[in-house]
Structure 1
Amino acid sequence: MKDKTVDVLALAAHPDDVELCAGGTICTLAQQGYTTAVVDFTRGELGSRGTPEQRQEEAKAASHIMGLADRDNLKLPDGNIENTPATRRRLIERIRRYRPDIVLINAPECRHPDHCAASELAKDALYYSGLRKIETTNANGEVQEPWRPHHILHYMQAVPFEPTFVLDVSDVWAQRIEALQAFESQFYNPDYEPDPDEPETYISNPTFFKWVEARARTYGYRIGATYGEPLLYYQGPVGVRDLPQALSIERPFR
């Protein structure tokens, strides 16, 4: 595979992190004509429900629903995401393959240690990916050119933050929920029959979807939309050339 370019790359500790926390953002970008891809760090093998093989198939289904151009998995150990030269190199290879302008990464703070570890790994790899003296090759053995994205944003997970941006995802809400429910072994799906040894979890309970919707409605309300997804810009400030255009959406509350 030759290195290819996408507009936006989303990085995630587990398959389903993107669908749960930035699914509306990815669907909206695809609808707007931008190319998107996802790199999952682990196969989610420590999950209480389902198997890595199931998660892989679910990720394929969700990718199709969201309109991804590509999806990859680093196959790092679930529950032990380490920020080492070896793991950074594996991620750098993907960053240089996709050469995105914008990258979405895990939240800076979360109840799940993997999410915090993935955030740190992503930030370091995204920086080192721009250094010429770190040499990597693609699948064809060709030397990759250095690449560093222009913008990095955190998507919100369990711990709230004051967002830099809230993206209106109202038009793709049904599509975003369909992508999330493609992970039927993980999230509530009335068509999924768990094995007898699979316990109900916090996220497999149907009330969890009420929380997902409630948070999206809360942030949507703040920008005058039905549903919104919060994003935190990493290492601001954000540069603008046309201030009125950047502020073209009127505030609903003044």
Structure 2
Amino acid sequence: RYTSQLVCDAAYMVTVPPIVPDVPALRKNPVIAYLSDHFTRPYPFSPTVVVDVEPVWDRMIAALDCHQSQFYDWLPYNHFYEEEVPADPGQRKIFLSRKMKERIGPLADRYRELVIQTYGEKRGREIQLIEAFEPCEYGSPLTDENRKILFPFLP
């Protein structure tokens, strides 16, 4: 959450030369989007993009597994399930997959209308695991044109 706030606050600076002299300033802000959360203040999350992550689930879990301290140390500690973390590193991806399904599993039903709008009636009703994104007003707008560039795999 605080990282999101930091990105929003710093977004303007990516267009200001020479903040980082070795890197050219961008001519315009990139699209910035929030990843889904359950917070309702200052306002509830309201996605405009949903992505079916079932086809890439194993790759997603492998990528998250690289963040050992986040997923096997501090998140379990903060959410009171540290005793559930397998001691055997070979079992950790199975554990992480289960925890991530618990976290994002409800999203497909919560945003089912948008899932159907994106993937069509038949496929939209079948999809169970999604990630959802809400464009941030501090970045460039998410237009139809850049949506096709950023999400070329969407129908």
Band of TM-score, shorter chain: 0.5 to 0.7
Distance 1:146 1:179, change over 3 A: closer
Residue number in structure 2 paired with 1:130:
15
Change (3 A) 1:121 1:185: closer
Which residue of structure 1 lines up, in the alignment, with residue 57 of structure 2? 173
Count of equivalent residues: 114
Q: Alignment partner of 2:34: what SS?
A: strand
Which gives a bigger RCO, structure 1 or 2 (Cα 8 Å, sep 6+)? 2
Instruction: Quote the residue 1:15 is aligned against.
Output: none
The code of the aligned residue for 1:239 comes to T
- Whichever structure has more helix as a proportion of its residues is 2
* Offset of residue 210 of structure 1: 4.2
- Seen in structure 2, the aligned counterparts of structure 1 residues 161 and 137 have a Cα distance that, compared at 3 Å, is same
Q: Which has the higher strand share?
A: 1
Identity %: 24
* In 2, Cα distance between equivalents of 1:187 and 1:209: 11
The one-letter code matched in structure 2 to 1:155 is: L
Tell me the equivalent position of 1:146: 25
Name stretches of at least 5 consecutive residues in structure 1 with no aligned partner. Answer: 1-114, 139-143, 189-193, 250-254
Q: How far apart in 1 are the matches of 2:19 and 2:96?
A: 44
Instruction: Specify which of 232, 236, 242 is matched with residue 134 of structure 2.
Output: 232
User: Residue type of the partner of 1:127?
Assistant: Y
Aligned equivalents of 1:208, 1:182: Cα separation in 2: 11
Query: Over the residues paired in the alignment, what is the CA RMSD in angstroms?
Result: 3.5
Q: Is the 2:31–2:141 Cα contact (8 Å) retained in structure 1?
A: no
Post-superposition shift, 1:211?
Answer: 4.9
Residues 166 and 219 in structure 1, CA contact (< 8 A), matched pair in contact too? no
Kept after mapping to 1: 8 A contact 2:14/2:29:
no
TM-score (structure 1 length as normaliser): 0.36
